[in-house]
């Protein structure tokens, strides 16, 4: 009986330590990747603003050939929504909504994930003209984990988990846009 009490006290102490440490761990994370595309900024922006074009470059869309995709609202405008549903855990299901467009400069999205877990995040494309015929594209993903789940950010490197998919997507985008010239 004494052993059981000590074990319960130990478990409570360990859980308490984890919960206290989680109070001091950041809830937020950001993953960013960049690519240089040899196309005019207006061409790159006009391509990126349409959610349906993501099928051509997004690493996640390309992981599952059987993904179910739907679109609502006027594509390329604030309020348009792309929804996806995949049986693959890497892809999951959710929706992406354009929430802000600064013409020729940036597109911001809200991502609402449903599977494999529910969460909300932001993503954006920022374009910077580098020359008359060259554009730098910055793809960012901003997320947050609520307390106490934020403790997992101490052990999970979101940059190494999401970064390769952003890089692959940007490489695909570069290939698509530079070939279309």
**Whether residue 122 has pLDDT greater than 90:** yes
Query: Which residue is it, tokens 């101490």?
Result: 154
Q: For 21-79, how does the pLDDT look when each residue is reduced to its tens digit (9 = 90+)?
A: 656 666 777 889 999 999 999 999 999 999 999 999 998 888 888 889 999 999 999 99
Residue 13 structural domain: 2-179
**pLDDT computed for residue 30 by the predictor:** 85
Q: For 133-169, how does the pLDDT look when each residue is reduced to its tens digit (9 = 90+)?
A: 899 999 998 877 766 765 665 667 767 777 899 999 9
The CATH number given to whatever domain includes residue 74 is 3.30.530.20
pLDDT band at 1 (very low <50, low <70, confident <90, very high): confident
| Residues 135-164 as b or e (16 or more Cβ within 10 Å = b) | bebbbbbebbbeeeebbebeeeebeeebee
Q: How many domains does the chain have?
A: 1
Return the higher-pLDDT residue of 154 and 7: 7
Helix axes 41-48, 158-179, angle to 10 degrees: 120
Return the higher-pLDDT residue of 160 and 180: 160
- 3 state SS of 123: strand
**pLDDT computed for residue 153 by the predictor:** 59
How far is residue 40 from each of residues 71, 73, 100, 122, 177, measured CA to CA in Å?
Answer: 27, 27, 21, 26, 10
**Whether residue 9 has pLDDT greater than 70:** yes
Closest CA to 144 of 133, 135, 153, 154: 153
**pLDDT computed for residue 26 by the predictor:** 67
Q: For 70-118, how does the pLDDT look when each residue is reduced to its tens digit (9 = 90+)?
A: 999 999 999 999 999 999 888 899 999 999 999 999 999 999 999 987 8
The contacts found for 73-77 with CB under 8 angstroms, 24 or more apart, are 75/50, 75/51, 76/49, 76/50, 76/51, 77/101
């Amino acid at each position: 009986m004494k052993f059981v009490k000590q074990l319960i006290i130990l478990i409570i102490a360990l859980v308490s330590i984890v919960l206290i440490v989680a109070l001091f761990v950041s809830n937020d994370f950001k993953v960013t990747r960049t690519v240089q595309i040899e196309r005019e900024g207006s061409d790159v922006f006009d391509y990126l603003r349409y959610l349906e074009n993501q099928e051509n470059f997004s690493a996640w869309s390309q992981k599952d050939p059987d993904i179910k995709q739907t679109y609502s609202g006027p594509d390329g405008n604030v309020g348009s929504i792309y929804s996806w549903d995949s049986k693959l855990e890497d892809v999951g299901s959710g929706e992406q909504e354009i929430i802000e467009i600064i013409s020729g400069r940036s597109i911001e999205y809200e991502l609402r994930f449903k599977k494999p877990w529910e969460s909300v995040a932001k993503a954006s494309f920022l374009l910077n003209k580098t020359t008359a015929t060259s554009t730098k594209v910055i793809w960012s993903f901003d997320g947050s984990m609520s307390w106490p789940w934020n403790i997992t950010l101490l052990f999970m490197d979101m940059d190494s988990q999401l970064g390769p998919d952003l890089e692959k997507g940007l490489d695909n985008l570069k290939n698509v846009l530079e070939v279309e010239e």
